[in-house]
Structure 1
Amino acid sequence: MNVRARAGVVTVAAAAVVAVLAGCSDSGDTPDVPTIAPQTPIAAPVVEAGAPAGQVVPMPDAGGALAYCSSTEQVAVLSADGRSVQFRPTAALSTPTRTVGLSDKASGFGTFANGVLQVLIPHALLRVNSATGDVVRTDLPGTPLSAVLTSQGQTLVGNDLGQIAVVGADGGIEKTISGLVRVDALAEHNGQVVALDRAQSSVTQVDIGGDDLGVALRSGDGATNLTVDHFGRFLTTDTKGGEFLAFSGDPLVNKFRYPVAFGPYAVGYDDTHNLAWVATTGDNKVTAYELASGTPVQTRQFTTVGQADSMVVDPDSGTVYLLSARGEGLQVIDPDQQ
């Protein structure tokens, strides 16, 4: 019997506000607040639940991170050792068009747009051009954990010091906003910016213009990942507590908390079919939910490659891409397949 179908749904109008301290560029102090050990993905079972759905492209040396570029229709794949990036067109995924070596071990990716990929390495953000292989470096404090290219053309980079650096189009740092413990994920929609802090299991509004932090809300007991859909709903996974959550509005409010078993981790949204996708590593599944009713309704579920820690969704076709962190390849799922 499906655990998700049996579980009850908890819908709330708001959640408890997390006490965080807001600071500006000259502070850099970590707030004195209760913290938890940042949650990591639940280990996938050794015994598979069945053959992975869709197409699986062998990539034994990949598994570090995954990104998708709509304008060039290609994916970027980080090697398992974090030392190189492969660019692969979605029409011919089996062969990379370009491989770019990195100056240091990367921890992940930011936005991949207009053929340029943001790569996070210690003390710097790299912008890698997929067409030429050229790399532009911006030196930054701390270890970058997240990055996002905003609709205003700025790049926001979150680090392990709880700071958000605002980087202009020229690569220069315009300002730094402090006050979080860590900035593990960033998302932006029409100028509204939200940061996820795994150490506080919280989501926090960020006022870029005012150099300050806004409302902060708990996101379960062990939040890990964040995305935003075209309606402006910020969607998070609580891996430790087993929940899928949504936040929206200004100020931010919690719209629902939905129980999801087996360690929800990667999260994405299909703007074409209006489906939220959540990958659960504890059972090697990925599940699609409709959110039109205000609470998630499961519509599809597929078996994934083992340890699918990374997921991206093509917003135009709805195709779901999942990358195995243990070398089992890149999986491609058509959302309309049975």
Structure 2
Amino acid sequence: MRAPDELALVNLDSGAVTGRVPLPGVVRHLQLAGPGGPVLVPDESANAFLRVALPGGRIESRVTTGASPHDATQASPDTVFVADEAGGSLTVVRGDQVVRTFTDVTQPGGLAAAAGRVGAIDVRENTLSIYDPATLTPLAELPAGAGPTHLVADRNGRLLVADTRGDRLLVFDPAGTPRRLADLPLPGSPYGLGYDATRDRLWVTLTATNEVVGFDTSGPQPREVARIPTVRQPNTVAADPSTGRIVVTGTAEGVLQLIDP
């Protein structure tokens, strides 16, 4: 949330706000380090990466990053990758220490980890870069459509990419020699991605049509199984793996939409 900058803790059963955590600056994207947290918080205007404990909301740590950290992902049990969008870098954090800074990206956006590797979208170069978090080395750079923005990992070890300007959903295998597996048309400016590992279900928001689309990802290629109207400007979606309920942010009005698909 902005004005004031804070992290709102929401009960997904009732939709009630159970707590608010003041933040040092503006945040756009969040990930969980694991099912019980902590929350990985890239604070863009503070140039910092924070860990916020659940359920209480205590800030456990703060690490200085590059300029405008946009996204952060748990790459391994002790390693977090942070995408510094305005800094043209990836900051690698172990514990509370920066152990490596990659500068082979121009404008990093979304991050996700799969198959023991990390994928990073470069929104200016339109590429997907793959890294080894154990050895802290770059492994590959692949074309990723006409305008990729975000990605998530599925339980099958794949990376699923929203090609926002290209109106497509892309699927990559980061293991071995990284490669593209699928390229599906998805008109409507796909942007936000959420994954339900229990049901092997991918949810994609379409910001041009105010919809969220569900895909069965259990097979070799995602298959559309649901299409639901949303609030305006649905920039982000997340799934509760215990119930299947999805949460969509309505950025235009500053609201959350709870959906039982």
Greater length-normalized contact order (CA 8 Å, ≥ 6 residues apart): 1
Structure 1 unaligned spans of 5+? 1-78
Deviation per residue, 1:17-45 (Å, 9 max, x gap): xxxxxxxxxxxxxxxxxxxxxxxxxxxxx
Give the aligned residue type for 1:195. Answer: A
Rate the CA distance shift 1:288–1:198 in 2: closer, same or farther, 3 A.
same
Residues 1:228 and 2:149 are matched in the alignment: no
CA contact (8 A) 2:90 2:102 kept: yes
2:136 match: 211
Give the aligned residue type for 1:235. Answer: L
RMSD: 1.9
Give the aligned residue type for 1:312. Answer: A
Residues 1:126 and 2:47 are matched in the alignment: no
SS at match of 2:108: coil
Tell me the matched-pair count. Answer: 255
2:186 equivalent among 244, 257, 260: 260
Rate the CA distance shift 1:102–1:154 in 2: closer, same or farther, 3 A.
same
Rate the CA distance shift 1:112–1:192 in 2: closer, same or farther, 3 A.
closer
Task: Map 1:1-338; keep pairs closer than 5 Å.
Answer: 79-81=1-3, 83-94=5-16, 96-111=17-32, 113=34, 114-121=36-43, 122-135=46-59, 136-160=61-85, 161-169=87-95, 171-248=96-173, 249-327=175-253, 329-335=255-261
- Structure that is richer in strand per residue: 2
Distance, in Å, in 1 between the alignment partners of 2:12 and 2:204 is 21
Q: CA deviation at 1:82?
A: 6.4
Distance, in Å, in 2 between the alignment partners of 1:250 and 1:158 is 23
Identity %: 25
Distance, in Å, in 2 between the alignment partners of 1:272 and 1:240 is 30
Give the aligned residue type for 1:104. Answer: G
SS at match of 1:90: coil
Distance, in Å, in 2 between the alignment partners of 1:173 and 1:198 is 24
Deviation per residue, 1:198-243 (Å, 9 max, x gap): 1111111112333321211111100011001000110011111110
Structure 2 unaligned spans of 5+? none
Q: CA deviation at 1:149?
A: 1.6
Give the aligned residue type for 2:68. Answer: T
TM-score w.r.t. the length of structure 2 is 0.90
CA contact (8 A) 1:193 1:205 kept: yes
1:47 match: none
